[in-house]
A and B are shown apart, each in its own frame.
Chain A
Amino acid sequence: MNSAVSLAPTPWGLLPVLAVMLPVAGMVAALPLGARGAERLTFALLPVGLLIAIGTAAATYASGAPLVHLLGHWAPPLGLAFRADGLATAMLLTAAIVIGATALYARAEFGTPPGTPERREALSFWSLLLAVWGAINLAVVADDLFTLYVALELLTFAAMPLACLDGKRETLEAALRYLMFALLGSVLYLLGVALLYGAYGTLDIVLLAQRARAAPATVVAAALMTAGLLAKTALLPLHLWLPPAHAGAPAAASAVLSALVVKGSFVLVVRLWFGVMPGLPAPAAAQVLAALGAAAIILGSAAALAQARLKLLVAYSTVAQIGYLFLMFPLMTAAIASAEDAARAWTGGVLQAVSHAFAKAAMFLAVGLMAKGLGHDRIADLGGAGRAMPLCLLTFGLAGLSLMGVPPSGGFAAKWLLLTSAIEAGQWWWALVILGGGLLTGTYVYRVLAVALTQGNGDTAAVAEPKGQAWVALALALLSVVLGFLPLGAFGLVQIGRLDLAIGGAP
């Protein structure tokens, strides 16, 4: 039964290794190079990283199997492997694009013109951006649970200083709270890793998938690791740290935090549930996960609606959109009988992660420009913003369409796949949640647009929109919409290498 899952090295297996090592090397070199050097290095690495991500996707798609590389020729369980499956390639591409757009946008704020002295924010931003990039790439291609722990560490230690880059007291407090949640998550995850090693003598996901049984150690480990990862992903009720941390960061940092960082731990939950223990039926636990997701969708959207500040609204919208990600879990476990429904739920979940990344990055960048241009981000006083900053408002609206799930957009495709899968699986209550969440999202997006399109009291005439930055944000928003135009067949890529298909249902 295991012939479908091989850990033999494949041609092009070096691509995922390079996808991880180039940004990490960039981060290490950033320190001696200084802020200006780090900035230039980042821009040199961006096109290379994007090409590597495209190459990984192309090679995976062409061969129909994951790319595998054995580090130092040592095969698991003794050694470590990188394994880039469909999910990994989708995330590699997303990360390369979001990081690239954010870097272009951030030049205005964190750039170091020649001849000027190095600033703290500049050196920190460019090196931390590279660190986030390397960490997210590692989190999606590593095949070993301890290597993934190191990826989580890198991700946390890069994200936490990004959240408090402006050095204000409130943002330091928010970052500290984030760190507490994240460290609690790390400890719980590590406890589970130790238990799994004690039970099976390996930490390789592919090998664990073949060995894991429904023993007490497996169940306790899975519960601890899931809880820890949820704290890092900010699934309600462990979301308390997210809104102040994401809303207080500089716009470029918020974009990366909301679009990518929370997705790293989410991918790990997926790997744990459908990789490490695909054969373990846990329908009740999956229902609990999705119930938390549903609560996040409803309560997060309602909280977004109640916010007086634009940045906090966008941050609460992230809390809600994370909820959608967890709807795929009961649909995947219930759909073991119907491979087609499981595939649909899987694609829906991955597409939600990707389209939310583009939409939310676009939204944070646009909102950052608006807050800077207007000098505030009070929603009630946004009147006239539509005339002063049309590109930003268009970006906000387009990204909002994708978040709502209005066709045609990537968000629509994701939510439609989840919705139909829920109905096919006989779990219609999730369909209601998806529809209700869409309505609430529509309301809070409309609330912003309605105020911004009014005349206002006229003092916005002097506000100029930085065109270059606004176009970057708009491009991301367009991307989140264009995803919805792709034919469904194109998403076959994300199905490649699914471990629950190869091993599922046969514990």
Chain B
Amino acid sequence: MTGLLADLLIGAAILALAAGTVTARSAFTATAFFIAYGLLLALAWVRLGAVDIALTEAAISAGLSGLLLLGAASRLAACPVAEERAPGPVLKALIGLCCAAVSAAVGYAILSLPEPAPSLAEEAMAHLSVTALGNPVAGVLMSYRALDTLLEAAVVVLAVIGVWSLAPAGGWGGVPGPIHPRIEQGPLALLARLLPPIGIVVAFHILWVGSYAPGGKFQAAAILAAMWLLAWLAGLATPPRISSRRLRLAISAGTGLFLAIGMFGVLAEGAFLAYPPALTKALMLAVEFALAGSIAVALALLVMGPPEPEDRA
């Protein structure tokens, strides 16, 4: 009973925060609502027993995306641009109607789904011993659907290229993002000194347990990126210039290694991304660690943004 009550409360709060995000007048308020919304959504995933998703939701959508949106909001506040024409009442009503129709259709479809839902969970568990993993989510990510993970890692590399391609004229090759003056006092300065050692240990723990418990490279990478960003915001760490060969290698190394191991599977086992049984565990660990590092660097660079013109920096 209390469980149901808690679920209802979480659900209502998520809806209220979503409404708040949409209706907020200032970008800052909307972002604050959005971050709270992401955290509550993570809670909802915990209630559904999907701890892996909850971790990702909290780290990526609430944490890093929130930080990104805050940065965008503060930039927009600093140099206000001409507001686009707000949609009129008719258009607003139309958009509302479309959203309501989609929600109603999805709700109807979900209620009509078969009970119990057809699921691959049993099959995923049955083959888990072959994958040398103890966590079925890791099994899906690293073995059954390893291709999707590899391609998503490539999307992360592509995202960095995409963000850098938006660099304004005059800054190519320079230091990514705005330069933050060194902060000596206040909570940020303290946190930036105190948190990173702890964060790094936590990230390694989450990465290591990922093979048999909730966790893994994406969550660990998000935490590592957050630690770097903290030091960056406090002016304690200057990122390398984007022309740096080493920085670029760090971004590509994880995905590159995964691709190479995939091709090795072709030679050794006759299928792309097939792991030789004796090497399964070692190869997966190598990919997990390399990807965690590369994704951490990429995520931090995505938040920092493209290099800015040298004269303004």
Q: Give the B-binding residues of A (Cβ under 8 A).
A: 9, 14, 17, 21, 24-25, 27-32, 34, 69-74, 77-80, 117-120, 123-124, 127-128, 131, 134, 138, 146-147, 150-151, 153-154, 157-158, 160-161, 164-165, 167, 172, 188, 191, 195, 198-202, 215-217, 219-221, 223-224
The residue that B161 contacts in the complex, of A128, A147, A199, with Cβ under 8 A, is A128
> For residue B145, which residue of chain A has the nearest CB?
A80
> For residue A35, which residue of chain B has the nearest CB?
B172
Least CB distance from A29 to B in Å reads: 7
The residue that B249 contacts in the complex, of A32, A198, A220, with Cβ under 8 A, is A32
Known: A73-B269, A128-B161, A217-B109. A31 touches B151 (CB 8 A): no
Say yes or no: is B105 at the interface (Cβ < 8 Å to chain A): yes
- Determine whether the beta carbon of B168 is less than 8 Å from that of A167: yes
- Determine whether the beta carbon of B255 is less than 8 Å from that of A161: no
Say yes or no: is B102 at the interface (Cβ < 8 Å to chain A): yes
- Determine whether the beta carbon of B172 is less than 8 Å from that of A73: no
Least CB distance from A35 to B in Å reads: 10
Say yes or no: is B265 at the interface (Cβ < 8 Å to chain A): yes
Say yes or no: is B143 at the interface (Cβ < 8 Å to chain A): yes
How many angstroms from the CA of A164 to the CA of B163 in the assembled complex? 12
B108: chain A residues at CB < 8 Å are 216, 220
Given contacts A80-B144, A150-B152, A220-B109, 4 further A-B contacts (CB under 8 A): A31-B161, A72-B272, A73-B269, A78-B124
> What are 17 sample pairs from A and B whose C-beta atoms fall under 8 A apart?
A14-B272, A21-B272, A28-B154, A71-B271, A72-B146, A72-B147, A78-B120, A80-B148, A150-B155, A158-B158, A160-B162, A161-B161, A161-B162, A165-B165, A191-B102, A201-B118, A202-B118
- Determine whether the beta carbon of A31 is less than 8 Å from that of B160: yes
- Determine whether the beta carbon of A202 is less than 8 Å from that of B120: yes
Say yes or no: is B204 at the interface (Cβ < 8 Å to chain A): no
- Determine whether the beta carbon of B148 is less than 8 Å from that of A153: no
- Determine whether the beta carbon of A154 is less than 8 Å from that of B155: yes
The residue that B106 contacts in the complex, of A146, A147, A195, with Cβ under 8 A, is A195
Q: Which 9 A-B pairs have the closest CB atoms?
A: A201-B118, A124-B165, A220-B109, A161-B165, A72-B273, A216-B112, A32-B248, A217-B109, A120-B172
A29: chain B residues at CB < 8 Å are 252, 256
A21: chain B residues at CB < 8 Å are 259, 262-263, 272
Residue from the set B114, B172, B275 with the largest chain A CB neighbour count within 10 Å: B172
Least CB distance from B247 to A in Å reads: 9
- Determine whether the beta carbon of A71 is less than 8 Å from that of B159: no
Say yes or no: is B198 at the interface (Cβ < 8 Å to chain A): no
> For residue A138, which residue of chain B has the nearest CB?
B151
Say yes or no: is B281 at the interface (Cβ < 8 Å to chain A): no
Least CB distance from B278 to A in Å reads: 16
Least CB distance from A153 to B in Å reads: 6
- Determine whether the beta carbon of B160 is less than 8 Å from that of A71: no
Give the interface SS of chain B, mostly helix, strand, loop or mixed.
helix
> For residue A200, which residue of chain B has the nearest CB?
B118
How many angstroms from the CA of A134 to the CA of B147 in the assembled complex? 14
B269: chain A residues at CB < 8 Å are 73
Least CB distance from B110 to A in Å reads: 7
The residue that B144 contacts in the complex, of A74, A172, A200, with Cβ under 8 A, is A74
Say yes or no: is B266 at the interface (Cβ < 8 Å to chain A): yes
How many angstroms from the CA of A219 to the CA of B109 in the assembled complex? 9
Mark B234-258 against chain A: 1 for CB-CB distance below 8 A, else 0. 0000000001010011011001100
How many angstroms from the CA of A79 to the CA of B147 in the assembled complex? 9
How many angstroms from the CA of A255 to the CA of B249 in the assembled complex? 31
The residue that A28 contacts in the complex, of B105, B144, B147, B252, with Cβ under 8 A, is B252
How many angstroms from the CA of A199 to the CA of B123 in the assembled complex? 17
How many angstroms from the CA of A164 to the CA of B168 in the assembled complex? 12
Say yes or no: is B166 at the interface (Cβ < 8 Å to chain A): yes
Mark B119-138 against chain A: 1 for CB-CB distance below 8 A, else 0. 11001100100000000000
Say yes or no: is B189 at the interface (Cβ < 8 Å to chain A): no
| 199-251 of chain B: CB within 8 A of chain A | 243, 245, 248-249, 251
- Determine whether the beta carbon of A77 is less than 8 Å from that of B120: yes
How many angstroms from the CA of A191 to the CA of B169 in the assembled complex? 39
How many angstroms from the CA of A32 to the CA of B123 in the assembled complex? 40
The residue that B112 contacts in the complex, of A34, A165, A215, with Cβ under 8 A, is A215
- Determine whether the beta carbon of B245 is less than 8 Å from that of A32: yes
Say yes or no: is B300 at the interface (Cβ < 8 Å to chain A): no
B295: chain A residues at CB < 8 Å are none
- Determine whether the beta carbon of A31 is less than 8 Å from that of B147: no
The residue that A72 contacts in the complex, of B151, B154, B275, with Cβ under 8 A, is B275
The residue that A14 contacts in the complex, of B145, B158, B173, B266, with Cβ under 8 A, is B266
How many angstroms from the CA of A118 to the CA of B174 in the assembled complex? 12
The residue that B158 contacts in the complex, of A80, A157, A167, A172, with Cβ under 8 A, is A157
Say yes or no: is B1 at the interface (Cβ < 8 Å to chain A): no
Known: A70-B271, A195-B106, A200-B118. A78 touches B127 (CB 8 A): yes
How many angstroms from the CA of A157 to the CA of B248 in the assembled complex? 19
How many angstroms from the CA of A215 to the CA of B272 in the assembled complex? 36
- Determine whether the beta carbon of B165 is less than 8 Å from that of A128: yes
Say yes or no: is B289 at the interface (Cβ < 8 Å to chain A): no
Say yes or no: is B274 at the interface (Cβ < 8 Å to chain A): yes
How many angstroms from the CA of A146 to the CA of B158 in the assembled complex? 19
Known: A73-B271, A74-B143. A27 touches B110 (CB 8 A): no
A224: chain B residues at CB < 8 Å are 102, 105-106
Least CB distance from B289 to A in Å reads: 17
Say yes or no: is B167 at the interface (Cβ < 8 Å to chain A): yes
Least CB distance from B167 to A in Å reads: 5
How many angstroms from the CA of A202 to the CA of B118 in the assembled complex? 8
B160: chain A residues at CB < 8 Å are 31
The residue that A220 contacts in the complex, of B105, B114, B151, with Cβ under 8 A, is B105
Least CB distance from A226 to B in Å reads: 13
> For residue B173, which residue of chain A has the nearest CB?
A118
| 160-186 of chain B: CB within 8 A of chain A | 160-162, 164-169, 172-173
Say yes or no: is B279 at the interface (Cβ < 8 Å to chain A): no
- Determine whether the beta carbon of A120 is less than 8 Å from that of B117: no
